[in-house]
Amino acid sequence: MTNEKITKENLLDLSHKVVDFAMSEGIEAVEIFSHYNSTFQIITEGRSIANEREKSELGFSVRVIKGETEGFSYTNKFDFDSLKKTVKDAIGVATVAPPNPGIRLPQTSKYKSIDGLFTKSVADLTIEDLIDHAKQVLEPMGNVSADVRTNISSVDKVEDWTSIVNSHGVEGFQKANYYQGNFFAVAREGDKVGSFVFDDFFTHNPKEIDLHLFGDEITQIAVRNLDAKAPTSIDSNTVVFQKTGVFQPLGIVIMQAVSALNVLQNRSMWKDKLADTVAIDSFGLIDDSHNPVGAGAKSFDDEGNASQKTTIIQDGILENFLFDELRASKMNAVSTGNSWRTLGGTRFLNPPSNIFPNVPLIQPGNLSNEELYEDIKLGITFEYFSGSFRDENGMFSGVAKGAQMIRNGELAEPLMNVTIGGNVFELLFNIEGMTKELNLSNGFLLAPKIKASGINITTQK
């Protein structure tokens, strides 16, 4: 990358110049995608600041269409000559690639501007601010008798730019920033060691996060887990999924099932279920792509199609699959603006090959947190799931981390060595309650807490 200052204008100008060059090389279509990411990160270990990291990277990818073949290449150099070479490399790949009928690039479309994706309050955060914020989270851990410590946790400030230009007139640019934290903690007291606790936050407004309260809640759960019991058995099949438990396995399996990519590959249990009932009649799922609360909020997807609000499940009925341009062409549909290059990391390294919601939202129920538990005579709740699950058939099995017994509508003793298993697609018909309150999990999925029956609960004494 040169020392030239990166701006929206020179990113787009360079991209247009490269498009013109590529078209002069005798191809049908070309796309230039750029991604810039800058991250400041404060890492904690134990109850101390362990390290600070600063990383920034800009890269370009070139995708060309030649007949029915596609070529792809990338570079992290910010100059015309390097991008000309990248174009020629992509054309070389297309020359030897196998045909992919239906491959095409999007036509120009109008993008909706999203307020709140880039905020001054995040931009103004300094390294010193982030260090102070991490200390605020850690401070409550020193106020309890147990030895509570974090393990490779962090507070991050992230700035993210995306641009895309293609030979069909597509031009998009989006600039976003956000503030997030990811914390793992564990408590020790003498010979006793509790199970790990995990929690996270994500926002475009740092003032929304009460860092001391966040740290105190993690601390209290970690200390609670010191007294976890390993029951010989639990005579119940009722489970309350907390926010991270809803994300995985429930959310991941559902979101893969509505991907047109998996439908075409016969990897979706719902491939023949469009317009059929797939859940209880109070269950709904939408992709609210323009809602800035989630990290995936965007005006356009990773191949330049406009994003949108898509109702996926309404009143328990599957209404829509999610599409990118290629799968839309193969299924006589229209792209829903859900193409992703990768679900994390450096995006310019990959062509658009995934289909996923942008800001998935499971619609809320009608219960308070207290009401969710009140009719449970015996059951469990848990914080997060550690195990395996299969997207194709919905089967899952693993350890319920941060588990707690529910007795007569009240939270009781913490549990250890508890395993849960079942089938996500069956679980959707066994939902017995959802909260009014939505929680943001992994900076991505907005969802209520969910109570379901029919779950296999086993113990390992």
pLDDT at 4: 61
Indicate the helix (H) or strand (E) that contains 424: helix 424-427
Ramachandran assignment for 116, one of left (phi > 0), alpha (psi -120 to 50 degrees), beta (any other)? left
The tokens describing 323, both together, are 């599409």
Contacts of 109 (CB under 8 A, 6+ apart): 170, 300, 304, 305, 306
The tokens describing 227, both together, are 């007294």
Spatial separation of the C-alpha atoms in residues 86 and 73, rounded to whole Å:
6
Determine if the peptide bond prior to 448 is cis (ω within 30°).
no
Contacts of 329 (CB under 8 A, 6+ apart): 102, 103, 104
Q: In a structure prediction context, what are the per-residue pLDDT tens digits for the chain, which is 461 residues long? A: 444 688 999 999 999 999 999 999 999 999 999 999 999 999 999 999 999 999 999 999 999 999 999 999 999 999 999 999 999 999 999 999 999 999 999 999 999 999 999 999 999 999 999 999 999 999 999 999 999 999 999 999 999 999 999 999 999 999 999 999 999 999 999 999 998 899 999 999 999 999 999 999 999 999 999 999 999 999 999 999 999 999 999 999 999 999 999 999 999 999 999 999 999 999 999 999 999 999 999 999 999 999 999 999 999 999 999 999 999 999 999 999 999 999 877 899 999 999 999 999 999 999 999 999 999 999 999 998 999 999 999 999 999 999 999 999 999 999 999 999 999 999 999 999 999 999 999 999 999 999 999 999 999 86
> Which domains are seen in the chain, by residue range?
8-223 (3.30.2290.10), 228-461 (no CATH)
